[in-house]
């Protein structure tokens, strides 16, 4: 019995050690950038960790929000990410429902096909995609960015939602069919309410991926009209004399929306992301 207690204690100490190191490594960089965003340029350049109280300021945020074009990029990002989320959700819900509930010729091939597109190098796909977007007259337009970004999120969403729908008993569908529901009514009134947590995660996933995309935006966007926050923070750090206080403020503003959304879905996130992986158990 005593060895058992000793083993428990050893595990607990070791576990807390892992947790402490993880907290330092995974959380500290975010705290540091938040901290920096409230410091003056002068105090950042002292190379000290702590500075006098008067060296803390909201000036960086004021400059980023009032003087620079950051708010315009922020709105672009919001517009693009919301559009990608809405469009991809509609496509993925319909597609996953079709693949989960109907006997379709070549279904397995479609599933493998949709998923294996994840393997294609995006840096190569973007070349023809650029030419397609160009010939559709959608270069430097929001719909062009949105359409191109769909390929980043759709395969995973379909795979994930299909996993979710597969776990919903068929009896529910059958009961609704007997009640005279059409296919779309079945989907909207029976499946969607049950799958709501999965759909939330799918929506979160596509918002975050679209918000964080750099590759597609850097090609399809050509001006301030469609440039996003990721593009602008990358550009800020590339300049010669970097105003780190402002960069930090812009970075914090870029991170905040994703963290807020994350706080809503964190409990469902992993179950949702791995729904396709655990269903066969």
Partner 1 sequence: MKEQRKGLPLILPTLLIMGLFTVYPLLDGLRMAFTNQNLLRDTWKYVGFQNFVRLFHDEVFWLSLYQSLILVTVVVVLQFVLGLVLAWAMSQKLPGMGVFKSVIMASWVIPVAATVTMFKFMAQPDVGFFNIVLRGLGLGHVARYWLGDPNLALPFIMMMHLWRNVPFYGVAFLAAMQAIPSSLYEAAEIDGANAWQRFIHVTLPGIRSMIMVMVTIHVLWTFNNFDFVYLATGGGPVNRTYVLPVFVYRQSWESYNLGYAASIGTVMLVILMIYFIVYIRIYERGVVAR
Q: Site residues for partner 1, window 94-133 (CB under 8 A)?
A: 94-95, 97-99, 101-105, 110, 113-114, 117-129, 131-132
CB of 66 to partner 1, least distance (A): 21
**Cβ of 245: how many Cβ atoms within 10 Å?**
24
Applying CB under 8 A, among 65, 91, 139, 194 the residue interacting with partner 1 is 91
- Interface characters, 182-221, with partner 1 (x: CB under 8 A): -x------------------------x--xxxxx--xx--
Query: x/- binding map, residues 50-89, to partner 1, per CB under 8 A?
Result: ----------------------------------------
Window 252-271: residues binding partner 1 (CB under 8 A): 254-255, 258-259, 261-262, 266-267, 269-271
Closer to partner 1 by CB, 68 or 218: give it: 218
Please answer whether residues 195 and 271 qualify as being in contact, where contact means their C-beta atoms are separated by less than 8 angstroms. Answer: no
Give, rounded to a whole angstrom, the gap between the first and last alpha carbons of the chain: 35
Single out the residue of 174, 150, 164, 176 nearest to residue 100, CA to CA. Answer: 164
The distance of closest approach from Cβ of residue 90 to partner 1 in the complex, given in angstroms and rounded to an integer, is 7
In this structure, the number of other CB atoms found within 10 A of the CB of residue 184 comes to 10
Distance CA 265, CA 198 (A): 10
Q: Kindly tell me which residue out of 24, 29, 75, 172 binds partner 1, with binding defined by CB under 8 A.
A: 29
Asked if 247 is part of the footprint of partner 1 (rule: CB under 8 A), the reply reads yes
143 binds partner 1 (CB under 8 A): no
CB-CB contact of 57 with 122 (8 Å): no
Of the ranges 56-64, 149-157, 166-174, 188-196, which one interacts with partner 1 (CB under 8 A)? 149-157
Window contacting partner 1 (CB under 8 A); options: 59-67, 164-172, 191-199, 227-235? 227-235
The set of residues, in sequence order, having a beta carbon less than 8 Å from that of 153 and lying 6+ positions away, is: 84, 88, 92, 205, 206, 209, 210
Contacts by 43-50, CB closer than 8 A, 24 or more apart: 44/244, 44/245
- Residues 41/244, Cβ–Cβ less than 8 Å: yes
Q: Total binding residues for partner 1 by CB under 8 A?
A: 99
């Amino acid at each position: 019995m005593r060895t058992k207690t000793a083993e428990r204690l050893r595990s607990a100490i070791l576990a807390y050690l892992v947790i402490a190191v993880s907290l330092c490594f995974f959380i500290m960089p975010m705290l540091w950038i938040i901290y920096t965003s409230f410091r003056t340029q002068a105090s950042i350049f002292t190379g000290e960790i702590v500075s006098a109280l008067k060296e803390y300021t909201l000036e960086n945020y004021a400059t980023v929000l009032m003087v620079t074009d950051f708010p315009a990029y922020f709105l672009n990002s919001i517009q693009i990410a919301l559009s990608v989320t809405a469009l991809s959700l509609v496509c993925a819900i319909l597609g996953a429902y079709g693949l989960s509930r109907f006997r379709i010729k070549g279904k397995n091939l479609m599933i493998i096909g949709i998923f294996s597109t994840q393997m294609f190098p995006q840096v190569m796909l973007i070349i023809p995609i650029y030419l397609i977007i160009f010939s559709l007259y959608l270069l430097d337009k929001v719909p062009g960015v949105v359409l191109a970004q769909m390929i980043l999120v759709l395969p995973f969403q379909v795979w994930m939602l299909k996993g979710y729908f597969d776990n919903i008993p068929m009896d529910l569908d059958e009961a609704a069919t007997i009640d005279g529901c059409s296919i779309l009514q079945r989907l909207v009134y029976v499946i969607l309410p049950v799958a709501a947590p999965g759909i939330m995660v799918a929506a979160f996933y596509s918002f975050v991926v679209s918000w964080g995309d750099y590759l597609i935006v850097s090609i399809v966007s050509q001006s301030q009209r469609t440039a996003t926050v990721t593009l602008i923070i990358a550009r800020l750090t590339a300049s010669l004399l970097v105003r780190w206080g402002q960069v930090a403020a812009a970075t914090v503003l870029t991170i905040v929306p994703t963290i807020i959304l994350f706080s809503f879905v964190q409990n469902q996130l992993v179950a949702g992301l791995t729904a396709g992986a655990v269903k066969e158990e």
